[in-house]
Amino acid sequence: MIVEPYVRNYLSEHYGDDAYRTLAGYEAKGGFAGLKKAVALAPEQVVELVKASGLRGRGGAGFATGLKWSFMPRTSDRMKVIVINGDESEPGSFKDRLIMERGPFAVLEGILIGAWAMGAQRSYIYVRGEYAEAIRALRSAVAELYKKKLLGKNILGKKGFEHDVVVHGGAGAYICGEETGLLESLEGKKGQPRKKPPFPAQHGAFGLPTTVNNIETFAHVPFIVERGVEWFKGRGTEKSPGTTLFGVSGHVERPGLFELPLGTPLREVIGHAGGVRGGRRLKGVMPGGLSMQILPPTELDVPMAEEFLSQRGTHLGTGGVMVMDESVCMVRVATVVSYFFRDESCGQCTQCREGTAWVHKLCQRIEQGRGTEADLALLTDVPKLMEGQTICAFADAAAWPIQGLLRHFRSDFEAHLSERKCPFPESFEL
C-alpha cells in the first residue's frame, strides 16, 4: 500500500480518490481547465505567466521554471522536445512516485501546457525502471489522452497544436536523474552527464532543442495557469512559492508524504510525521535528501525553502527529510552515504570516480575502528578535492553530506578513533 499524503493541499487533494486516476475523474475535479486557459493565450504569454509565478523546479536544483522555458528557441526547423524527469532516485525522496501513481493527469496537463508554451512536439517521460507501477499509471493515462484526442494532432481542436508523449523506462542508475545524464540514457547510451556547452535548449535529446523538468514541477503548472499567479504566490514563500510534497522518513512515528507550503518550519514538518519515534531525542536531520548537508537539532526552526536552508549551510534538494534519533552512529551514516555515491558515480570525472571510492574506504575503516587521525584529516580534505570541479554536480552531492556530518558530528568520528570500535551499540546495523 502506497503511503498517501497525510497532509493534503491543492496538488494531492484528490489522491485518495481512485477515479482521479482516470481522465473522466480528473476532469470532474477541474482537470484540463488550465490547458484550455493556456491555449487561449499566446505561447510567449504562457511562458511569462510561469515566470511570473516564481515556480521553482522540484527536482532538487530549484531553478526558475519559467526562465528555463524561455531558453527554448522561439522557432526551430527541428522538432522541439520536452523531457520529464521521473528518475527519482535521491534517497529520502519518494514524492514523484506518488504523483505519477495517483495524479498522472496533472503531470500530463502540465506537459501539454509546456508543449503549447514552448512549441514542443514531443515529450519523453523518463521514469526509473524500478517504478513499474508508475510506468503503468502513466502509460494508461497517456492512452486515455490519445483516445480523447488530448494527445496527437489538433489538440483541443487547435490546428497545428500536436504533441506526442512517450513513456520511457530507465534501468537502475541514479545518475540518470541528472539532466544530461538522463538525455544520454534516453538516447540509449550510458547515463554519463554531458559537458556544457552545448546546453540542452540548443542541443538536447537527440541533438534537438530540449527542456528538462521534474515530474512534480509539471504537476504544479496546470494549477498555476488555471488559478493564477497571485493565487500561487499566496502560498509558500516569496522566493519559493507553492507547496511541495515533503517526504519524511527514518526515526519518526508516522513516516510518509506531507504536502505543505514551502517555508514550513522543519520542526513542523517533522511534527506532522509524529515527531521522533518513541519519544526519543533527535540527533540530526537531513532536510533535502541524501545529497544535502545534515542539520543538528538546533536548526529545527529553519523554514523549509532553499533561500533559508542555504543560509544554514544546506539545501532543500528534493525535500526528502530523513530523521535520525539519538541511537544513530553518524559514522555508520557516513558509510551508508559514501557507499551510495561510490556505487552511483558514473565514473567519468577523475575527482568523482576516485574521490567517492576513497571517501567510502576511509569511512569504512574509521567505522570498523581501524581509522587514524590522518584518515580523519583526509575525510576533510578529499571532499574538498571533489567539489565544484566536475562535469555535473554529483561530486558536490557526494562531498556535501560528508562535510556536513563532519562539521556537526565530528565527535562521533573521534570516538571511533579513540575507542577503536563503534561506541553506539544501539545504532542501526550496517
Partner 1 sequence: MRPETRAEIESLFERYPQKRGALLPAIYLVQAEKGFVDADGARELAALFEIAPVEVHEVLSFYNMFYTEPQGRHHVYVCTNLPCSLRGARTLLKGLESHLGVHGPGTTRDGRITIGHEECLGSCGTAPVMRVDGAYHENLDLGAARRIVDELE
Partner 2 sequence: MPTITIDGTEYEVPEGRMVLQAIDDLGLLMNGVDIPHYCWHPKLSIDGSCRLCQVEIEGMPKLQIACNTPVANGMKIHTRNERVLAARRGVMELLLINHPLDCPICDQAGECKLQDYAFQWGVPESRTREPRRPAKKAVDLGPTIVFDQERCILCRRCVRFCREVPKTGELGVFNRGDESLLEVFPGSELDNPYSMNVADICPVGALTTRDFRFKIRVWFLDDVKSVCNQCSRGCNLVASRSNNKVYRFVPRRNDAVNETWMCDHGRMSYKLNGQGRVEAPRVDGREVTFTDAVKRAAELLRATLDARGKIVGIASPFASNADLAAFRDLLARLGAGNARFSVPRGEADDVLIEAEKAPNAAGCRALGMTESNDSIGRADLALVLGHTLTAEVFGDVGNIVLVDSHESALSARAAVVLPARTFLEKTGAFTNSRGLVQKFSAVVEPEFEAWSEADTLAQVAAAAGVS
Binding residues for partner 2, rule: CB under 8 A, are 173, 175, 190, 195, 197, 342-351, 353-358, 361-362, 374-375, 378, 385, 388-391
Please choose which of partner 2, partner 1, none residue 91 contacts, taking the beta carbon within 5 to 8 angstroms, the exact cut-off set by kind. partner 1
- Interaction between residue 1 and partner 1 (CB under 8 A): yes
- H helix runs in 84-170, sequence order: 95-102, 104-118, 132-147
Instruction: Collect all residues with Cβ–Cβ distance below 8 Å to 53 and sequence separation of at least 6.
Output: 66, 224, 229, 232, 233, 241, 242
Please choose which of partner 1, partner 2, none residue 157 contacts, taking the beta carbon within 5 to 8 angstroms, the exact cut-off set by kind. none
- Interaction between residue 357 and partner 1 (CB under 8 A): no
CB of 168 to partner 2, least distance (A): 20
Please choose which of partner 1, partner 2, none residue 197 contacts, taking the beta carbon within 5 to 8 angstroms, the exact cut-off set by kind. partner 2
- Interaction between residue 429 and partner 1 (CB under 8 A): yes
273 within 8 A of 253, measured Cβ to Cβ? yes
Grid coordinates given for 151: 494527445
Nearer to partner 2, 136 or 361 (CB): 361
- Interaction between residue 102 and partner 1 (CB under 8 A): no
Among 85, 89, 293, 314, binds partner 1 (CB under 8 A): 89
- Interaction between residue 151 and partner 1 (CB under 8 A): no
- Interaction between residue 93 and partner 1 (CB under 8 A): yes
The residue type of 194 is: R
Element (H, E) at 173: none
Nearer to partner 2, 148 or 361 (CB): 361
Which residue in the block uniquely carries the three cell numbers 488530448? Answer: 150
DSSP structural state of residue 312: G
- Interaction between residue 92 and partner 1 (CB under 8 A): yes
Grid coordinates given for 85: 524527469
Count of residues interacting with partner 1 (CB under 8 A):
61
Grid coordinates given for 53: 509565478
Which residue in the block uniquely carries the three cell numbers 504537476? Answer: 219
Please state the φ and ψ torsions of residue 285, each to the nearest 5 degrees: -140, 130
Please choose which of partner 1, partner 2, none residue 125 contacts, taking the beta carbon within 5 to 8 angstroms, the exact cut-off set by kind. none
Q: How many CB atoms lie within 10 A of CB 196?
A: 13
Contacting partner 1 within 263-322 (CB under 8 A): 286, 290, 320, 322
Provide the pairing of β-strand 243-250 with 320-325.
Answer: parallel
Q: Specify whether the backbone of 234 is left (phi greater than 0), alpha (psi in -120 to 50) or beta.
A: alpha
Element (H, E) at 324: strand 320-325
CA distance 332 to 355: 19
Following DSSP, what letter does each residue of 45-93 receive, concatenated? HHHHHHHHHT-B-SSSS--BHHHHHHTS-SS-SS--EEEEEE----TT-
- Interaction between residue 129 and partner 1 (CB under 8 A): yes
CB of 362 to partner 2, least distance (A): 8
Which residue in the block uniquely carries the three cell numbers 477515479? Answer: 19
Please choose which of partner 2, partner 1, none residue 350 contacts, taking the beta carbon within 5 to 8 angstroms, the exact cut-off set by kind. partner 2
Site string for partner 1, 234-253 (x = CB under 8 A): -------------xxxxx--
CA distance 253 to 329: 20
CB of 178 to partner 2, least distance (A): 13
Nearer to partner 2, 337 or 346 (CB): 346
- Interaction between residue 130 and partner 1 (CB under 8 A): yes
Nearer to partner 2, 1 or 374 (CB): 374
Encode 8-30: b = buried (16+ Cβ within 10 Å), e = exposed. bbbbbbbbeeeebbbbeebeeee
CB of 351 to partner 2, least distance (A): 6
- Interaction between residue 208 and partner 1 (CB under 8 A): yes
Give the footprint of partner 1 on this chain (CB under 8 A). 1-3, 79, 88-94, 96-97, 128-133, 166, 168-174, 185-191, 205-206, 208, 247-251, 255-257, 286, 290, 320, 322, 324, 328, 332-333, 336-337, 340, 343-344, 428-430
